[in-house]
Structures are given as structure tokens and as C-alpha cells.
Structure 1
Amino acid sequence: MSSRKGIRIEGLSKRYGQGDTAVFALKDVNMQVAPGEVVGLIGPSGSGKSTLLKCLGAVIDPTAGRMVLDDEVIYDEGWKVRDLSALRRDKIGFVFQAPYLIPFLDATDNVALLSMLAGVPNAEARAKALELLTALDVQHRAHAMPSALSGGEQQRVSIARGLVNRPPVILADEPTAPLDSVRAMAVIRILNDMAKRFEAAIIVVTHDEKIIPTFKRIYHIRDGVTHEELGEGRGFD
């Protein structure tokens, strides 16, 4: 039985400004994502998706609400974690639309760097990185520089980097946007496989109509408010 609990968000709000000029980017958002689960977060531009992701990633401060990560309260009307940089490094994985690989490091070191920054010895960090690259079927590109990788390979390396510290939560922001249908479905399948293998709760922000039918649960966000619905969840059991 998993010891992980995923992430739970209760009454999360984000306000910009005060008084008559106040604008709520998020209003009383509630979400729960279990370990091993991949959920979609969809909504029109300006709906609050990016604000929610930044709050979940401890990049910006919410105004109110509560966030619980693996039974640890990380935010409750204020941050309960002293070192937000360590929280982001160790507990939250990020996968972006663009891979943002460091151009002068090879694929292995791009993945290993976060572990090294967390104090893991270099050889051990590289071994962990190679294990993930193997799981993602790009081990044959372990010593390739980012400029020599295809777009799909770069995104797999990016996913490996997001997983390297075994975070309980992974936030994926439009991870399939630059990819064609075949590569997009490969990436979403990988995220589902990795969620199960590493007991990670994964939230995928997307506009990509190709992958929306793969989600078993979807959160729609509009005007800063979320609504949950069951998705089609095709093909990833």
C-alpha cells in the first residue's frame, strides 16, 4: 500500500490588488489528486490555469486557502514550509511546454543536476538519471547534447528531470503542445506510466484536444473557479 497521499487543495484563492480594484485570479479552488493519478486541468486563456499552477508550484503566494502535500500542510493562510526552494526541488517536479534543457550539459547531467543540487553524490545522481532515461527509452542518448536531440527526445529528458528526485507531485504545463499527434500520445502515455511507477500525482495543464480524452478526471477552470468532471480515460489502463 502506498505511503504517499498525493496533493489536496482546499479553498485556494489568489487576489491581486485591494478594495475596489481587487481582482480574483482564483476563487475557492478545491482539488485532490491521488498518487499514481494523472488529471487534466483545462480552461480558456485567462481562466486562472497559470496562476493555479504557480501557486501549486510555490512560485507565487496564494491569498487564502490550504494545500496539503503527502499529509504535510505546506500552505494554510500562509506558507508552513521555511525553504520554498527546497520544497520545489525535492517535492514538486516540473515539466514545461519547452524542455528548457541546459545547452552545455549532456542528457544525463541535465537530469542529474537537481539531485546534485540536493546533495546527492555526482556518481549516484548520474546513476539515478540513467535509470530514468532507460525507463523513458532514451538511454542511448544519455551522452548527447540537447542540440543533438529530437523534440520528442528532449521532452523525455525533461520528464526524467522532473522525476529525478521522486517528487510526490508533478506539474506539467502544456507538455504536448509542440508535438505531433504520435509524439503527444507517447508523452501522455509516459506520464501515466511514470505516475504509477513512482506513485506521483500529476496535474497536466493543456489545451491539446488530442490528449484530453485520455484523462479519467478533468478539472475545468473558468474565471478562477474549478469544476470537476469524469473524463473518458481511454487507453491507459
Structure 2
Amino acid sequence: MAGRLRAPTGRYGGKSAEERQAERRRRFLDAALQLFGGSPGYRGTTVAALSEAAGLSTRQFYEEFRTLEDVLAALHLQVNDWAEEAVVEAAAGAADLPLTERATAIFRAYAANVTGDPRRIRITFVEIIGVSPRLEEQRLARRASWVDLICTEARAAAARGEAAPRDYRIAATAFIGSVNGLLHDWSAGWVDATLDEVVDELVRQLVGILRPPGWRPPGGVVEGRG
């Protein structure tokens, strides 16, 4: 199909065209979370099935999207945005806490958001993989934004004297891989641990990266040590 069908304009049922479009888009994404993140998954879903689940027509689908891949792309970004919002809120609330407590609060918020709905885990770590070069580029770009967030936090911690001052980009990239792998394996039942235990392990890894052996902060006292 060369492009989307043009949606109607003007007010209808007390809603503007923009409001109706936003509602349709939300219903399609809600249905996609159900079908892509559950059964039958992205590869087993058709436009007709998605439209039926959304309570809309296939014509309305093509007014909003060109392909099912466009829906998956939008849903992947939305799931990541939800997690990022949870992290930013947690970071703001823990701004005055010591490093370990702050990192624990941030990762607990992230883990709770991502794992609170198994469908989000599947979208983030399963359905997005191997679909197309375009979605692989999007996945890597979104992961890079998480790396940037960790680097920003690490630089701030170093400026406060809580972490070693260095370039954290490689370490942050490796750490994000650990986060994704561990949370996916835990959600799939391959890791026998509570979510709190998983978060505690990730925090230990991060603190070990920020405070390598032999490093001492200004004043010579590391948090939790005498």
C-alpha cells in the first residue's frame, strides 16, 4: 500500500478529528499489546485480527498505520517510554540518597515496570528481535538511550565523589546487556530468585563498575565501609 488512507476531519460525537485519531491509535496499540505480547504473538497476528481485537475496522487500521510492523515499532517505543518514565520519577525521588540506595530505588522502579506486565517483557526482549533491519536499528537506538542515561548518572555520581571518574560508555553498554538478559531469563522462569534478589544483584554489579577495586573517594571513606 502506497500510504495510509486519509482519516475523516471535523467533529463527531463531541470529539475532534485529532481526539478520535488518538483514541483509535490507543485502541490499536492496546490490542497489539494483547496479541503481540501474548497469543498469537506478532508473527501470528493479521491486520484483520488486530482490528477485531481493537473493535475497529481494517479501513481504520490503514488510516493509522501502513503495516503491522509500524504497530510493533510504535508499541516497542511506548513500552520503553513507560519504563523510562518510571526510572526518571524514581531517580528524582531518590536524588538525595546515597549511591547504593539510589541505584536500588531506580532499578526497582525499572524492574517493576518492565516485569509487572509479562506482555511488555515479550515486546521488549522477544517480539522485536529479528523482524527487520529497521526495527533492529530502532531496538539498538533505544538501548543506546538507556546507555546514555546510565552514563549521565555515573558522571553525576563521579562529580559528587561517589564514583570513579572515567568514561563509562563501554561499561554501561555491557551492563545494559546484563540487565536485559537477567530480566528476560527471570521472567521466563529460568532464574530461581525473587525480583528483589535480581535487583540486588544488578545493583551490586553497577556499584562494582562505579567503584572498581582500589578506588577511594575523596576523604577516603566508601559508602558502607569504614
TM-score (norm 2): 0.31
Task: Tell me: higher relative CO, structure 1 or 2? Use CA pairs within 8 A at least 6 residues apart.
Answer: 1
Instruction: Specify which structure has the higher proportion of helix.
Output: 2
Larger radius of gyration: 2
Instruction: Specify which structure has the higher proportion of strand.
Output: 1
TM-score (norm 1): 0.29
